[in-house]
Structure 1
Amino acid sequence: MVAKKSKLIEEEGCRVKMVHLDRVRRAREQAPSDPELGRLAELYKAMGDPNRLRILLALRGGEMCVCDLAALTGVSDSAVSHALRRLKDLALVNNRRDGQMLYYSLDDEHVDQLLAASLEHLHHD
């Protein structure tokens, strides 16, 4: 197994050590700032949790309350509230109050597009 893995790395790696400075420079210029990169990593980390991702995907269909989301995910209201707080802190969801009820929805169209693109990528042949 190690021999196969080593051979695969050799085939995929560089055979000649040569840095293409124009490509490196372009990549550096296009790269997000360190704070942006950190925030982006936190966003993907939050979406990497199956329950939080399930919540986000459910909210693509419209707003839902904590009780709805708890019934969907099979976890406690408290766990859903905690997940929603994390998603709200990252501007992935927002809420509105109607009397004593809080209804959650995706923060904006970009969140829906991110989820749609991810699903499309998953199903792409």
Structure 2
Amino acid sequence: MKTLPHDHGQKFEQMREQIPGPEAFQIVADLFKQMGDLSRVRIFWLLCHCEECVINISSLMEMSSPAVSHHLKQLKMTGLIISRRDGKEVYYKAADTVQAQMLHHMIEQAIEISCPYSIDDRQKEDA
């Protein structure tokens, strides 16, 4: 059985079996790449709490619609947000995935804020 150059008591084969393949880490790298942009973090956090159209997101973020659209496209490509069309409007919200939920909680814990309310709470108010 092969050992590591510095023997710390663990067998190389045991460690190798526990390390996920590069494709698993690529998923994490892609998610962190998305969160490496301040505007995308803010937009993603907003969409964790509401469903909005580009115009309203632009207004809330004080950004141009083309800039917001660019960030939405990036977030959608990695599966962090989803969209739906209603007539001419397209609405965006955070995806209901483990990755999106973890990032949402990580953002809030990192800056020590809490959810103003969830999408479910807002839908109940609208009903």
TM-score range, shorter chain: 0.7 to 0.9
TM-score (ref. length: structure 1): 0.72
Q: How many residues align?
A: 107
Deviation at 1:27, TM superposition (A): 5.2
Distance verdict in 2 for CA 1:34–1:82, change over 3 Å? same
Q: Match of 1:96, SS? A: strand
Distance 1:22 1:49, change over 3 A: same
5+ residue gaps, structure 1, are 1-16
Q: More helix by proportion, 1 or 2?
A: 1
CA RMSD of aligned residues (A): 2.3
Tell me what 1:75 maps to.
63
Say if 2:17 is the partner of 1:22.
Answer: no
* Residue in structure 1 matched with residue 75 of structure 2 by the alignment: 87
Q: CA deviation at 1:26?
A: 5.5
Aligned to 2:25: 37
Q: CA deviation at 1:101?
A: 0.4
Once the two structures are TM-superposed, the CA of residue 18 in structure 1 deviates from its matched residue by 4.8
Deviation at 1:30, TM superposition (A): 3.5
Q: Which has the higher contact order (CA 8 A, sep 6+)?
A: 2
Alpha-carbon offset, residue 71 of structure 1: 0.8
